[in-house]
A and B are shown apart, each in its own frame.
Chain A
Amino acid sequence: MTDQLFDALIELADDNLVLGHRLSEWCGHAPMLEEDLALANLALDLVGTARALYSLAAEVEGKGRTEDDLAYLRVEREYRNLLLVERPNGDFGHTILRQFYFAAFMEPFWSAAAAGSSDARIRAIAAKAAKEMAYHLRHSGEWVVRLGDGTDESHRRMVAAVDALHHYTDELFVASPAAEAMAGAGVLPRREAMRAEWDRLVGQVLAEAGLTAPDVPWPQIGGREGLHGEELGHMLAEMQYLQRAYPGATW
């Protein structure tokens, strides 16, 4: 039970950190100043949630590891994040669509956890994250509509973004053995239970944006087993560089 709770928390923490890291890559380079600040806010929310989840995982594990040990000293095969969140930023359209797909899952997920988790520590993290995700959903959803509907160029770019990212979305609903066990124990919501709400939210926004969700005969799945794309290794090499170059140092 402890091992499985640890594993399930790591999966969620990795999702948040990897996506937060990706968003932080935008800092100073966004399409407009207002959006630079907005993307940093989204990133800070996600990194904050990741820290809370890693800390809880470390506490559950009870081996004296810290949030930073978990974030900085695991290699890519040990990372358990969704493939969707590790996708490179691409253009702003890719970034905002990736955010929208993720938030459309996490908002209902954290809301359900806040209301129904049997673990008070998770309820606390979830209550905070649910509010943040509601804003992420709103912000990214409004942008998806504007970009899909805006100009011919923006529409073309959003069609490309949907094409590039949609086949990673089925993985949102896949439960690892740890996630399955935690759902069975009432600690975390069942991931597949979010399907109807996700379909509704995504369907509504894509329709308003004039975009169509493609059929996905071969969804991309594997992050929960540490089977990633090639980009994650580069991201971690960059992120972990100081901790790896100066083992044991305090920062």
Chain B
Amino acid sequence: MYSQGLIGADGRTEESPEFLEAFQRRIDAEEKIEPKDPMPAGYRRTLVRQIGQHAHSEIVGMLPEGNWITRAPTLKRKAALLAKVQDEGGHGLYLYAAAETLGVSREEMTEELLAGKAKYSSIFNYPTLSWADIGAIGWLVDGAAIMNQIPLCRCSYGPYSRAMIRICKEESFHQRQGYEIMLTLCRGTPEQKAMAQDALNRWWWPSLMMFGPHDKDSAHTEQSMKWKIKRFTNDQLRQKFIDATVPQAEFLGLTIPDPELRWNPDKNDGRGGYDHGPIDWDEFWRVVKGHGRMNRDRLAARRKAHDEGAWVREAALAHARKRKARAMAAE
């Protein structure tokens, strides 16, 4: 789960016009770019940054949902949630591997994350306060992520595109899992339904922010679109998400916390769509810059796991060295 919007990589590049044109011709012909192929430095930098952020988002994203694994209310929900959070870890792993094909190591990327230098999706800096948050995350956050990830399966960079195909296949159960939790709560007791509404109230706006700033404020979208790293703009995807989600909320009998939300038949070239109220970008930037409720806790949890695991990683390497030495001595 993750969405776009934070990339912010510098796509500037200094190759000759001939080199860039030849590269662009390959991109325009929908050829995939593979790890050792010649590529502009800006393309490589943008990808390293985007895939790294995507991977970090998966890993940090394990924490808010992981917060409820030990409190899942039934054994079925416990198994499903554990499998889902485990998937996020797997997706982080596939993505780190894709980034590693560009010459950056997982250790380097991890260090950047732990040092607070790398970004990850801000949605994970909000706390999960009730079981309904697990439903809301699956429904809204994974729903938003799918909007972004499906086009990424066609990304011009081969290893990223292949990782995304695998991820999308595996994630297909995530949103359904979340929506089913919401549905069960909404059909349950009044307390449960209130829990679901409260979760929607808290997760709706952060979910819309996941798509990133409005196109007019998004500096790097154009170059990324040209290189076919990105296929749709932030606003296009956000609109698609809103249009898909509003009827799902109605089916649940829940109210989207936006008094200005209304159907506009002229939107989307006359196909119709929802107008929505203003997004609080001050809040967005505050959280991106590290001042959300959970930013510090999330990084502290990742650092703790990393630090406390160091002796295990060292021991495995030491044993491998010893074993090799013993095998050589025996020859």
Contact = CB atoms under 8 A, between A and B. Distances in A.
Is there a contact between chains A and B in the complex with CB atoms less than 8 Å apart? Answer: yes
A50 interface: yes
A92 interface: yes
Interface in B282-331: 301, 304-305, 308-319, 322
Interface stretch (B37-45, B68-76, B217-225, B256-264): B68-76
Contact of A151 (B85, B188, B309, B311): B311
Nearest to B187: A250
A227 interface: no
A151 B318 CA distance: 6
Contacts of B191: 246, 249
Interface in A141-189: 145-147, 149-151, 153-154, 157
A92 B76 CA distance: 27
Nearest to A242: B73
A78 B76 CA distance: 22
Contacts of A127: none
B305 A146 contact: no
Nearest to B79: A47
Interface string B38-63: 00000000000000000000010011
Interface residues of A, number: 50
B197 to A, nearest CB: 16
Contact of B70 (A24, A48, A91, A145): A24
Contact of B309 (A47, A67, A92, A150): A92
Contact of B301 (A28, A36, A44, A251): A28
Interface in A86-106: 91-93
Interface in A111-166: 145-147, 149-151, 153-154, 157
A67 B181 CA distance: 19
A250 B315 contact: no
Nearest to A91: B308
A21 B309 contact: no
A64 interface: no
Interface stretch (B89-97, B115-123, B163-171): B89-97
Given A40-B85, A242-B71, A150 B314 contact: yes
Contacts of B93: 33-34, 37
A31 B318 contact: no
A238 interface: yes
Contacts of A243: 73
B192 interface: yes
B319 A149 contact: yes
Contacts of A51: 75-76, 79
B66 interface: yes
B89 A29 contact: no
A153 to B, nearest CB: 5
Contacts of B184: 250-251
B279 interface: no
13 contacts: A24-B69, A25-B70, A28-B62, A31-B305, A33-B92, A33-B96, A37-B93, A44-B82, A72-B74, A150-B315, A150-B317, A249-B191, A251-B188
Q: Which 8 A-B pairs have the closest CB atoms?
A: A31-B309, A150-B315, A154-B315, A40-B86, A28-B62, A251-B73, A31-B312, A242-B73
Interface of B: 59, 62-63, 66, 69-79, 82-83, 85-86, 89-90, 92-93, 96, 131, 181, 184-185, 187-189, 191-192, 301, 304-305, 308-319, 322
